């Protein structure tokens, strides 16, 4: 049963990466713009690296503190519940305040890595991974049970945080890269004006949904 839970959580990590990758707000149109401006496909591919790297860093920064908290094994349910409440509050906040933070407009388009990190952080993208990550931490059998073993547990879960962030960013890179390449190669930028969907409300709602599911699981 634990193995099935782990597989489900890893699939959820990858699915969230696909979801973030499809979302134009995570930056793949900037890769299309880079390819069109320089009139070469390699410019598009080069832009995808910083976008994925910034997103990976944003995920890691959010997950690592929770990896430290996993040393408090006796409080695992409380930590998971608190994380779920944080995710729900972040989603509700984004539903109420739809405006994008002004500092995002001050980041030059050439700084794709910094822009990707800032956007993912401001939109709470990393918070979506927290319930899945904590589920993976608690579902893994650990041979350590006393206080002296806290450091090995922390080290193991910090490595897991990096692995979760990497898997998520890889899924984002594959999906966002495919969307950017198809737009550059076949559809053209006109599709962005005709088929652009405002996913802000959907994004916020998905955070609330993930938080509710996580809260139910922690109880």
How far is it, in rounded angstroms, from Cα 126 to Cα 128? 5
Q: For residue 40, what are the contacts with CB-CB under 8 A and spacing of at least 6?
A: none
3-state SS string over 97-164? CCCCCHHHHHCCCCCHHHHHHHHHHHCCCHHHHHHHHHHHHHHCCCCCCCHHHHHHHHHHHHHHHHHH
C-beta neighbour count of 189 within 10 angstroms = 12
Q: What confidence score (pLDDT) does residue 156 get?
A: 86
Q: What confidence score (pLDDT) does residue 109 get?
A: 65
**Span 12-40, average pLDDT:** 91
* Letter string b/e over residues 36-68, b meaning 16 or more CB atoms within 10 A of that residue's CB: eeeeeeebbbebbebbbbbbbbbbbebbeebbe
What tens digit of pLDDT does each residue of 73-83 get?
A: 667 788 888 88
Q: What confidence score (pLDDT) does residue 150 get?
A: 66
Q: What confidence score (pLDDT) does residue 184 get?
A: 92
Mean residue pLDDT of the chain comes to: 84
Q: What confidence score (pLDDT) does residue 181 get?
A: 95
How far is it, in rounded angstroms, from Cα 37 to Cα 169? 26
Tokens of 216: 């139910």
How far is it, in rounded angstroms, from Cα 219 to Cα 216? 5
Lowest mean pLDDT among 33-42, 58-67, 141-150: 141-150
How far is it, in rounded angstroms, from Cα 206 to Cα 88? 9
Query: Which pLDDT band holds residue 162 (cuts at 50, 70, 90)?
Result: very high
Rounded to the nearest 10 degrees, the angle between the axes of helix 112-122 and helix 41-69 is 40
**Span 126-151, average pLDDT:** 74
Q: Which of 33, 14, 12 is nearest to 24 (CA)?
A: 33
**Span 112-124, average pLDDT:** 91
Asked whether residue 1 carries a pLDDT value surpassing 60, the answer given is: no
Helix and strand numbers, DSSP H then E, in the chain: 9, 0
Tokens of 18: 């696909």
Q: What confidence score (pLDDT) does residue 191 get?
A: 66
pTM comes to 0.87
CB 84 within 8 A of CB 211: yes
**Span 107-119, average pLDDT:** 86
201 versus 10: the higher-pLDDT residue is 10
């Amino acid at each position: 049963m634990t193995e099935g839970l782990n597989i489900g959580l890893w699939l959820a990590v990858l699915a969230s990466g696909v979801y973030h990758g499809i979302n134009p707000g995570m930056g793949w149109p900037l890769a299309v713009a880079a390819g069109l401006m320089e009139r070469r496909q390699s410019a598009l591919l080069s832009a995808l690296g910083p976008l994925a790297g910034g997103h990976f860093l944003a995920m890691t920064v959010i997950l690592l503190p929770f990896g430290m908290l996993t040393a408090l094994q006796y409080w695992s349910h409380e930590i998971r519940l608190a994380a779920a409440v944080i995710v729900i509050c972040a989603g509700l906040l984004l539903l109420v305040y739809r405006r994008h933070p002004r500092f995002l407009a001050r980041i030059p388009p050439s700084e794709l890595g910094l822009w990707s990190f800032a956007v993912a952080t401001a939109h709470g993208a990393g918070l979506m991974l927290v319930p899945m990550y904590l589920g993976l931490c608690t579902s893994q059998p650990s041979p350590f049970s006393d206080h002296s073993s806290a450091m090995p547990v922390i080290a193991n879960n910090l490595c897991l945080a990096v692995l979760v962030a990497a898997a998520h960013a890889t899924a984002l890179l594959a999906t966002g890269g495919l969307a950017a390449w198809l737009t550059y190669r076949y559809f053209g930028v006109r599709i962005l004006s005709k088929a652009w969907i405002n996913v802000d409300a959907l994004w916020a709602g998905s955070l609330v949904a993930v938080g509710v599911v996580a809260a139910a699981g922690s109880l």
